[in-house]
Amino acid sequence: MLGLQPSDTPIETGKREADAGRLVDKERYQRLVGRLIYLSHTRPDIAFAVSVVSQHMHSPKEAHLDAVYKILRYLNGTPGRSKDCYSKRQASLEVFTDADWAGSTDDRRSTTGYCTFVWGNQSGHMEK
């Protein structure tokens, strides 16, 4: 993955899963997503993207694995961003939450999420 073109964003928005492709190796997918979940504690900028790919842990398909690779390419293009999260500043805590009632265009499921900023993490932002 180091030789691939870095990505500007961790996930594509508005993409439907009409044809997600064939099933991929479930154990490999779970290991990759598990590592991304662990990493998202110090990289809040990937938290939403990781929550999306973690919804497909039981039957991952090619499109889902491509989304994981996009997150990895994004991380490759943004080294050192986690250093911005925990610098020596005045201690502060901000928490934001949101819910989307039946907003998924694929299965009409609801999505909830939260974002936590410790020490005024200036690199974090939310986009639609």
Q: In terms of Cα–Cα distance, which of 15, 97, 11 is closest to 46?
A: 11
Q: Is residue 114 part of a domain?
A: yes
Angle between helices 62-77 and 26-39 (to 10 degrees): 30
Per the document, the length of the chain is 128
Residue 30: the pLDDT is 96
Residue 34 has pLDDT above 90, yes or no: yes
Residue 33: the pLDDT is 96
Residue 50 has pLDDT above 50, yes or no: yes
**Sign, CA torsion 8/9/11/12:** negative
DSSP letter for each residue of 67-111 = HHHHHHHHHHHSTTHHHHHT-S----EEEEEEEETT--TTT---E
Q: Is residue 54 part of a domain?
A: yes
Residue pair 121/85 in contact by the 8 Å Cβ criterion: yes
List the domain range (segments joined by +) for residue 103.
26-118
Residue 44 has pLDDT above 90, yes or no: no
Q: Is residue 124 part of a domain?
A: no
Tally the domains of the chain. Answer: 1
Q: Is residue 93 part of a domain?
A: yes
Q: Is residue 56 part of a domain?
A: yes
pLDDT digits (tens, 9 = 90+) for 68-102: 999 999 998 887 666 555 555 566 778 888 777 77
Residue 126: the pLDDT is 43
Residue 1: the pLDDT is 60
Residue 106 has pLDDT above 90, yes or no: no
Please state, in angstroms and rounded to a whole number, the distance separating the CA atoms of residues 77 and 4.
10
